[in-house]
Copies of this chain bind each other. A is one copy, B any other.
Amino acid sequence: MSSSFGTLYKVSTYGESHCKGVGVVIDGCPPGLELSEADIQRQLDRRRPGQNVLTTDRKEADQVMILSGTENGKTLGTPIALHVNNRDQRPGDYGDISDLPRPSHADFTYQMKYGIRASSGGGRASARETIGTVAAGAVAMKVLKKKYGIEIVAWVESVGPIQASGINPDTISREEVDKQISRCPDQITAAEMEKFITELKERGDSTGGIVTCCIRNSPVGLGEPIYEKLEAKLAQAMLAIPASKGFEIGSGFAGSRQLGSEHNDLFIWKDNRLGTSTNNSGGIQGGISNGEPILFRVAFKPTATISLPQETATFTGKTETMQAKGRHDPCVVSRAIPIVESMAALVLLDMAMRQESRKSFF
């Protein structure tokens, strides 16, 4: 288990779905930052289950408490512990599937890796684990916004086969994203998505989707080649989110089919700085931010928990029919939005702090 992330802004999360609570310790947050629980709660509310008809019916208030690291509403530079109690514990829901590892879930691999596993609810592989990440990310975002004016906005680009269009990454805001419960800010597509997800929920099936994220106003110079190139750490961060299956930066997979003469981002002078006329690089060259918007996409698989019957095998290989009764999201992407933003913030702030150190020497 490696539940910590970051070199200078280091977060360590804990908690599984059915213990006393979940949380995170942030070690290395800059001192003197104004910070209240409300700053963090906002993103937790965007993440929590039961927000609307498209998500699981499992309801959790997910109220965050700051246990340490602040005084009089300001960070002290000491570890900030953030904790959320678990409330809605209904282990019975999961009780009857415990000898059958759930297909495309972590039951089998956790059992094999640890020789033991949480009896219910997915334990640490539950989506509930992401609360710590989102809380720590909310704090990071506040630092990034204050120091650099950085904005991080993610949105749903596709749900199953339904693809949005016409979204401008340079201007899109979280408010616009949240206007749709699907979190796809293309209104017409959003309606289709909602209809599709509602149908899946009724049928007991699920689907996946793609999230796009844009980081604006990043300073030039973030990223630590070779092994911690900015896109490399973003890729790690995104693939650490439950259910994610792919990551691409800038032109991504499509870019592999282009010619160099089309794909190269030519330099131009704009906004009083050297920029590029196109952004196939997705804001990163040589593993280092170049001042253009950082643009990436994350693919999520269909939710593994479905109510449809599945022919699968027990740990000892006996074939059985599984029919899950637990509450689940028919599509995770709308709730993944604040998680993607938070992981991005963790990467950016850590990189920014490392670059600040270097800059002080020249």
Contacts and interface: CB of A to CB of B under 8 A. Distances in A.
Interface string A198-222: 0010000111111000000000110
B308 A68 contact: no
Contacts of A314: 267
A13 B226 contact: yes
A44 interface: no
Taking each of A12, A123, A260, A276, which has the highest tally of chain B beta carbons within 10 Å of its own beta carbon? A260
Interface in A89-122: 101, 103-106, 108-110, 112-119
Interface stretch (A49-57, A173-181, A185-193, A249-257): A249-257
B255 A240 contact: no
Contacts of A123: 76, 78
Contact of A255 (B208, B263, B316): B208
B259 A15 contact: no
Given A123-B76, A267-B313, A14 B68 contact: yes
A81 interface: yes
Interface in A240-290: 240, 242, 244-253, 255-269, 274, 276, 280-282, 284-290
Contact of A226 (B124, B207, B245, B264): B124
A27 B4 contact: yes
A301 B256 contact: yes
A260 B114 contact: no
- The size class of the interface chain A forms with chain B is 35 or more
A243 to B, nearest CB: 10
Copies per assembly: 4
A286 B102 CA distance: 11
A79 interface: yes
A247 B232 CA distance: 10
Given A65-B20, A226-B124, A306 B246 contact: no
A293 interface: no
Nearest to A18: B71
Contacts of A62: none
A67 B14 contact: yes
Interface in A123-177: 123-125, 129, 133, 143, 147, 158, 160-161
Given A32-B116, A112-B220, A125-B286, 9 more contacts: A12-B25, A20-B66, A106-B225, A207-B257, A208-B258, A231-B239, A240-B287, A266-B311, A274-B316
The 9 closest A-B pairs by CB, nearest first: A106-B286, A269-B317, A246-B248, A206-B260, A30-B361, A236-B236, A208-B256, A357-B357, A77-B114
25 contacts: A1-B77, A1-B79, A3-B78, A16-B68, A30-B358, A77-B114, A77-B115, A101-B267, A106-B225, A106-B285, A106-B286, A112-B221, A228-B236, A229-B239, A231-B239, A236-B236, A245-B255, A245-B256, A252-B299, A256-B299, A260-B308, A264-B302, A266-B310, A268-B312, A356-B360
